[in-house]
């Protein structure tokens, strides 16, 4: 009966079909990557392209990204200085506590 042999054929055909599909996908992805890589090396994609787009959208004025950067960078520096001050304050407090405990035990 043909029904008895049908599942046996799929035991061999299914892995072959999967392998063929995976091979096809591999070559498609290689081709897409190569095309993207060529465009990247040619300079079609990159930061310069993005800067030109931003400048074209906001002619004669600073872009919102540049405004945000000018606001954020000084604030970050102030926060960094403040965190450094807090760390020095904590270490001085800890040192004072250690010195006080050392003097009490001696």
- Residue-wise pLDDT for 6-55, tens only, equals 667 777 788 899 999 999 999 888 888 777 666 555 555 544 445 555 55
Average pLDDT estimate for 64-86: 90
Spatial separation of the C-alpha atoms in residues 34 and 14, rounded to whole Å: 30
> Computed from CA positions of residues 66, 67, 69, 74, in that sequence, does the dihedral angle turn out positive or negative?
positive
**C-alpha 83: how far from its chain's center?**
26
Number of alpha carbons in the 13 Å side-chain half-sphere of residue 34: 6
Mean pLDDT computed over every residue of the chain: 77
Residue 2 has pLDDT above 80, yes or no: no
pLDDT computed for residue 9 by the predictor: 73
Spatial separation of the C-alpha atoms in residues 71 and 79, rounded to whole Å: 13
pTM: 0.37
Spatial separation of the C-alpha atoms in residues 79 and 30, rounded to whole Å: 46
């Amino acid at each position: 009966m043909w029904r008895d042999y049908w599942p046996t054929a799929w035991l061999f055909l299914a892995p072959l079909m999967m392998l063929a599909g995976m091979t096809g996908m591999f070559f498609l992805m290689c081709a897409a990557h190569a095309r993207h890589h060529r465009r990247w090396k040619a300079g079609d994609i990159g930061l310069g392209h993005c800067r030109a787009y931003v400048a074209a959208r906001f002619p004669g004025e600073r872009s919102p990204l540049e405004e945000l950067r000018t606001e954020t960078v000084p604030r970050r520096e102030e926060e960094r200085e403040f965190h450094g001050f807090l760390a020095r304050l904590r270490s001085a407090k800890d040192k004072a506590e250690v010195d006080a405990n050392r003097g009490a035990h001696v």
